[in-house]
Amino acid sequence: MLNEKSILVTGGTGSFGKQFIKRILSDYPEIERVVVFSRDELKQFEMAQEFPEEKYKQIRYFIGDVRDRERLIRAMEGIDIVIHAAALKQVPAAEYNPFECIKTNVMGAQNVIDACLNTAVKRVVALSTDKAAAPINLYGATKLCSDKLFVAANNMKGKRDLKLSVVRYGNVMGSRGSVVPFFLNKRHGGVLPITDERMTRFNISLDEGVEMVLRALDIMWGGEIYVPKIPSYRITDVAMAVGPDCRHEIVGIRPGEKLHEDMITETDAISTVECQNYFVILPSMKLWDVEEFMSTFDGCMCPPNFSYNSGTNTEWLDVEQLRELTRLHVDPEFTV
């Protein structure tokens, strides 16, 4: 699918971007070009030590910000596929600096779309978040806007050979700012801060996130939001897995946080197709035949009143599974 293609990853030095690029360089040796597009020259320098251009002839490092439309257009010259992973995603920072978040997550998303419309890009997958479903914080609201922009862009592509879709998933284990590395750092002090004992979250690994994006690239029709079926965890089980002897200090929910996260609301479910390992939220504007889509992917419409919520999920990670995943995805030397 990617051999002899050129691909650009916005936010290419982030947790997902690095893992995605590592995967495609390994699995697609005949890929034409891989452009790492990000704004932090230090992270690009550090990434270049791991993926030097001398060894990986396909890789290019572009300094740029998704707020800069002209730079995006220049970077996308000759690009076939775009993965949009750049975002401001820290919830408290977005609440304190709202318009900065809007400029990157909403206006930046539109800049990516405009750049794709002005070049020969053929496929675009934008990364979303469970916080975009029924958002209560600014970060989630901006990502919902971004999702709507990428879906609606399929209406304005004209006769271009261009498809744009979205992949939405939950908390990534081991990513920057996530709870497991935070608890690993805190456990040596004997106290783990717990926001609320009832709190639950969806869980996905970086590899699983990369796999979902690659699948979307392979099967996308344009305008869908792909949601993988993934397990949930209880925050108290994460604390027990990482620091079984630690005392729990209840600190309260931070501004903009939920007790449980949604990936598909009851309203979304009305236009959501369930497939074997994932759901597909259909575009609100009809872009193609839904019956044909369901037949192609052996899917069926979700039942009435369905929702996909981390607190009512049917699949859960227990303490031992969380410990194994911590060793696998965060710290290979982790012990309790």
Which amino acids are annotated catalytic? 131
Residue (of 62, 63, 69, 112) closest to 87 by Cα position: 112
Give the C-alpha separation, 24 to 42, whole Å. Answer: 23
Single-letter code of the amino acid located at 238? V
The DSSP annotation for 172-224 comes to: ETTSTT-HHHHHHHHGGGTEEEES-TT-EEEEE-HHHHHHHHHHHHHH--SS-
Give me the residues paired with residue 300 across strands.
274
Question: CA-to-CA distance for 84 and 62, rounded, in angstroms?
Answer: 14
CB atoms within 10 A of CB 56: 15
Distance CA 193, CA 195 (A): 7
Q: Cα Rg for the chain, rounded, in angstroms?
A: 20
| Beta bridge mates, 33 | 6
The helix/strand/coil state of 125 is: strand
List the structure tokens of 280.
């597909």
Q: Confirm if 101 and 33 have CB atoms less than 8 A apart.
A: no
As given in the structure block, the two tokens for residue 133 are 């479903």
**Residue found under tokens 């106290």:** 191
Residue 49 phi/psi, 5-degree rounding, is: -70, -35
- Among 231, 230, 235, smallest CA distance to 198 is for 235
Rounded CA separation 119/89 (Å): 28
